[in-house]
Chain A
Amino acid sequence: MLLTESQSKDMLRAHGIAVPEGLLIRKPDQIKRWRGELPVAIKAQVASGGRGKAGGVLRANGVAEAQFAAKQLCDMKFGGEAPRALLVEPWVAHEREMYLAITIDVTAGGYVVLYSPKGGVEVENNAPLQYAFGSPRAFRAHALRKLLGEAEPDAGLRERLITLVRRMLYLATAADAMTVEINPLTVVDGKLIALDAKIVRDEAAAFRHADLAAEMEDARKREPKAMARALADNLMMVWLDGEVGLISGGAGMTMAAMDMIADAGAKPACFLDCSSNPTPAGYKLAFSILDSEPQVKAILFSIFGGGTQIDRVALTLHDVLKARKSKKPVVIRMNGTGREACDAYMKEVGLLNHDSLEAAVADVVQKAGAA
Chain B
Amino acid sequence: MSVLIDQTSRVLIQGIAGNFGKFSARDLKSYGTQVVAGVAQGREVKEVEGVPVYPDVRSACRETGANAIITYVPAVVAFDAVLDACDAGCKVVVYPGDGLPVQDAIEVRAAARANGAVIVGPNTPGVISPGKAKLGFMPSFCYTQGRLGVISRSGSLSYEACLRLTNAGIGQSTVIGIGGDPVKGLNAAEAVELLHNDADTDAILYLGEIGGNDEYAVARYAARAGAKPTAALIVGKAAPPGKKMGHAAAMVGSHADSHGAKVAALRAAGVRVADKLAGLAAAAQAALDAAKS
Q: Measuring CB to CB, which residues of chain A are less than 8 angstroms from any residue of chain B?
A: 48-49, 79, 104-107, 109-111, 124, 134-138, 173, 176, 178, 202-205, 207-208, 236, 238, 240, 249-256, 258-263, 268, 271, 273, 275-276, 303-307, 309, 335-337, 339, 357-358
- Mask for B270-281, Cβ within 8 A of A = 1, else 0? 000000111000
Q: Are B160 and A271 in contact (CB under 8 A)?
A: no
- Mask for B175-215, Cβ within 8 A of A = 1, else 0? 00000101110011100000000000000000101101110
Q: Are B99 and A106 in contact (CB under 8 A)?
A: no
Chain A residues with CB below 8 A from B102, complex form:
104, 176, 178, 202, 204-205
Stretch at the interface among B4-12, B32-40, B247-255: B247-255
Q: Are A306 and B209 in contact (CB under 8 A)?
A: no
Show 9 A/B contacts (Cβ-Cβ < 8 Å), sorted by A. Answer: A107-B216, A134-B109, A251-B247, A252-B157, A256-B235, A259-B277, A306-B138, A307-B96, A335-B163
A118 to chain B, nearest CB (A): 17
Chain B residues with CB below 8 A from A203, complex form:
248
B275 to chain A, nearest CB (A): 9
Which residue of chain A has its CB nearest to the CB of B98? A276
A258 in complex: contacting residue of B20, B153, B238, CB < 8 Å: B238
Chain B residues with CB below 8 A from A111, complex form:
106
Chain A residues with CB below 8 A from B20, complex form:
307
A108 to chain B, nearest CB (A): 9
> If A260-B276, A306-B156 touch, does A255 touch B183 (CB 8 Å cutoff)?
no
Which residue of chain B has its CB nearest to the CB of A310? B139
B28 to chain A, nearest CB (A): 13
Chain A CB within 8 A of B242 CB: yes
In the complex, A336→B141 CA distance in Å? 8
A239 to chain B, nearest CB (A): 9
A333 to chain B, nearest CB (A): 10
Q: Are B245 and A138 in contact (CB under 8 A)?
A: no
Chain A residues with CB below 8 A from B137, complex form:
306-307, 337
In the complex, A293→B217 CA distance in Å? 41
Q: Are A305 and B237 in contact (CB under 8 A)?
A: no
Interface residue ranges of B2-35 to A (CB < 8 Å): 20, 23, 27
Chain B residues with CB below 8 A from A304, complex form:
139, 156, 159-160
Chain A CB within 8 A of B52 CB: no
Q: Are A252 and B209 in contact (CB under 8 A)?
A: yes
Interface residue ranges of B218-255 to A (CB < 8 Å): 235-240, 242-250, 253-254
In the complex, A104→B278 CA distance in Å? 34
B97 to chain A, nearest CB (A): 10
Chain A CB within 8 A of B265 CB: no
Chain B residues with CB below 8 A from A339, complex form:
139, 141
A262 in complex: contacting residue of B101, B238, B253, B277, CB < 8 Å: B238
The 5 closest A-B pairs by CB, nearest first: A252-B154, A250-B156, A252-B157, A251-B246, A253-B156
In the complex, A276→B156 CA distance in Å? 13
Q: Are A259 and B235 in contact (CB under 8 A)?
A: yes
Q: Are B157 and A256 in contact (CB under 8 A)?
A: yes
Q: Are A107 and B235 in contact (CB under 8 A)?
A: no
In the complex, A176→B239 CA distance in Å? 27
> If A250-B156, A251-B250 touch, does A204 touch B99 (CB 8 Å cutoff)?
yes
Q: Are B214 and A259 in contact (CB under 8 A)?
A: no
In the complex, A236→B23 CA distance in Å? 25
Q: Are B242 and A79 in contact (CB under 8 A)?
A: yes
A306 in complex: contacting residue of B139, B184, B213, CB < 8 Å: B139
Chain B residues with CB below 8 A from A104, complex form:
102, 182-183
Chain B residues with CB below 8 A from A251, complex form:
154, 156, 180, 209, 245-247, 250
In the complex, A11→B156 CA distance in Å? 38
Q: Are A106 and B214 in contact (CB under 8 A)?
A: yes
> If A259-B236, A271-B239, A304-B159 touch, does A106 touch B152 (CB 8 Å cutoff)?
no
Q: Are A106 and B184 in contact (CB under 8 A)?
A: yes
Chain A CB within 8 A of B75 CB: yes
Chain A CB within 8 A of B155 CB: yes
Q: Are B103 and A176 in contact (CB under 8 A)?
A: yes
Chain A CB within 8 A of B269 CB: no
Chain A CB within 8 A of B125 CB: yes
> If A106-B184, A107-B187, A259-B236 touch, does A134 touch B106 (CB 8 Å cutoff)?
yes
In the complex, A335→B158 CA distance in Å? 13
Which residue of chain B has its CB nearest to the CB of A262? B238
Chain A CB within 8 A of B94 CB: no
In the complex, A110→B75 CA distance in Å? 18
A305 in complex: contacting residue of B139, B154, B277, CB < 8 Å: B139
Q: Are A250 and B106 in contact (CB under 8 A)?
A: no
Q: Are A249 and B106 in contact (CB under 8 A)?
A: no
Q: Are B250 and A250 in contact (CB under 8 A)?
A: no
Chain A residues with CB below 8 A from B155, complex form:
250, 252, 306-307
In the complex, A204→B248 CA distance in Å? 9
B76 in complex: contacting residue of A207, A261, A306, CB < 8 Å: A207
Which residue of chain A has its CB nearest to the CB of B235? A255
Q: Are B107 and A135 in contact (CB under 8 A)?
A: yes
